A and B are shown apart, each in its own frame.
Chain A
Amino acid sequence: MSQIISLLLVIISVAGLAILLTRKSRSSRWIAFVGTLIALGLTVLIGSLLDAPSESMFSFLVDFLMLGGTYAILSLGLNVQWGYTGLFNIGVAGFFGVGAYVSTILVQDPINVVGAGNESITVHFFNLPFVVGLLGAMAASGIVAVVVGFATLRLRSDYLAIATIGVSEILRLIATNERGITIGNRGIENIPQPLHQCLVIPVGANPAPPCDLFGIKIPQFISLAHYDWFYFLIVLGFLLIAFLALERISRSPWGRALRAIREDEDAALALGKNTFRFKMQSLIVGAIIMGGAGSIVAHMVKFIDPSVFDPLQRTFLVWVMLIVGGTGNNKGAIFGAFLMWAIWSTTSRLNDILPPTLLTPLGKIDVASQLFGPIRIMAIVIALEVILLYRPRGLIAEEKHTSTKIDH
């Protein structure tokens, strides 16, 4: 029951967002917004009347919004690089993973781990505040972009693709093998969350003292289950800031120059644009945003291992999101991310709906292990193909007057 209601909530949220982003007139946007809120409220109400366990329903919704939000951030970052500038970056996971690891290393407390020969190794993490981790992650990802950019941006665009996927793999191998820095394949557990001690009411025999924030004692006031709502605000805030910042520059002459480079780099060069500088800036801006997403995910799931460099989830899926949503449109990038994440994450609910085994003429199929993975990828690919057939420029296509903001 709760799963069906969660699904309903997600569908309503995505549909509402779609209407909100595609309507032009102010009044219809407000109607869409209020309508979505009412529909969400009703669903929750009916759900509680039907005695669905509300905690699990809410936690699914918050999880969906948080993870969807991080994908939206990644998709925005890729939109700067591919959507505006035409930089073929297929190493999104690399920039993301660097952000996740750097932030974790900066924020985590030092840990003793048991080495290969049973000796104890102290891994030096830096125990700094979350904000430092986030900024450090963004900076580190930007530095990786500078290195990749200097190596390849003067060459044809294909080389950037090769370099980014290569760098992403190299970074994964570093994370796997440099056990003294990253604890290798075992991964880093219990990554601290921002303001966790200050907000969450402590449980247990000896409760922690009130949080000391810049000398002011604040009693904790959030139950553990609701901490995710607070974290969701952080995700939303980052997403919003990234969106507004990108809207501002992508509609300015800077964004116009990027689009000219995407259309015809030689012509842009002939018209006096230092194309190398613009491509470099675009690559860095995109990478900084991706690094920020990495940091946010690391502190959200509280555990990272080298699989954060997984190209299927963090590169392929992000590309699909951007293409489906609308290349060259920041709203499209966000919408595509939530839509595809809805398909990706709700296919995991098929586990609850389908029987555990199916009898087919070809024999017995174990649904969870044999059917579920392929169905997921098929759903994504079919969605992508339908979009490419009927809306090749994405659901929310690039605006015609992107960079002429003066009224005329």
Chain B
Amino acid sequence: MQLSVQNLVKDFGGLRAVDRCSLEVREGTITGLIGPNGAGKTTLFNLITGFYKSDSGRVIFEDTDVTGRPPYTLFRQGLCRTFQIPREFKEMTVLENLMLVPAGQCGERIFSPWLQPGRVKQEERELFDKTIATLEFVNLIHLKDEYARNLSGGQKKLLELARAMMADPTMILLDEPGAGVNPTLLKKLMGYIERLCADRGITFFLIEHDMDLVMALCNPVIVMSEGKKLMEGTPNEVRSDQRVLDAYLGGQYAAADR
């Protein structure tokens, strides 16, 4: 198991957002996480990546207990996340948005630019090439010198994915990658995710409300409800499970299947 969540609890005042939730994500899968609004999906992501402190329970990533670690250390272990609403660095160019990402850059230490300018420059050049390759992969290369704030909503989603790619992660958590993305771009985005999973072996764990995307892309699918894991299974199993239908899907998909 690459990621394992054990009995995680998070209270916001009197509200229990995540309630003894346990789930596991296998290596090399694209695992979907669905559930009605308020089921605790985004809270769970925030707990896994260290943005929130859990009240009890454990998060284990690649055999290490990472419960309560600050977000930047998790990132360095290869666990990367994107946000529900894209959080691009607005007043920086697309290029800079990506070049920022890789951890442990020599030039990030305050004295290096003064003491080892040659080494910093060399690293920057390598980083630049890698950034160009990444931008070509997600088809944003024509926008590399544009301010990130000028990108469209869909392009910002691609930028977030590209930023995650720059880190060479082993697992990416995507929070609603399809929200606000037009159907054409959505197909592209799904293609990129599939290719990254197949070619580079990156595990994806994604929250999504677009059922077409989930059904086409994810296996397995985990359903959350009221802060707990309700069930886990293949898309077809999830679609036909009565508990899921009651909790979440309602009439639409059930009717289409009958």
Contact = CB atoms under 8 A, between A and B. Distances in A.
Nearest to B149: A263
B110 A254 contact: yes
Contacts of A285: 110
Nearest to A278: B108
A254 B109 contact: yes
A281 interface: yes
B151 interface: no
Nearest to A275: B72
B91 A263 contact: yes
A172 interface: no
Given A257-B100, A271-B163, A406-B128, A281 B110 contact: yes
Dominant secondary structure at the A interface? helix
Interface residues of A, number: 35
A85 to B, nearest CB: 12
B195 interface: no
B93 interface: yes
Interface in B5-33: none
Contact of A401 (B100, B106, B121, B145): B145
Interface in A311-329: none
A404 B99 contact: yes
A282 to B, nearest CB: 9
Contact of A272 (B72, B87, B93, B114): B72
A259 B91 contact: yes
A260 B72 contact: no
Contacts of B83: 267, 270
B81 to A, nearest CB: 6
Contacts of B114: 245, 248-249
B191 interface: no
A277 to B, nearest CB: 9
A407 to B, nearest CB: 10
B200 interface: no
Nearest to A253: B107
A408 interface: yes
A271 B110 contact: no
B100 A260 contact: yes
Given A252-B112, A260-B89, A400-B93, 20 more contacts: A249-B114, A253-B105, A253-B107, A254-B107, A257-B108, A260-B92, A263-B90, A263-B92, A264-B87, A269-B51, A270-B75, A270-B87, A271-B72, A272-B75, A273-B72, A400-B145, A401-B96, A404-B95, A404-B124, A406-B121
Interface of A: 245, 248-249, 251-254, 256-257, 259-260, 262-264, 266-275, 281, 285, 398, 400-406, 408
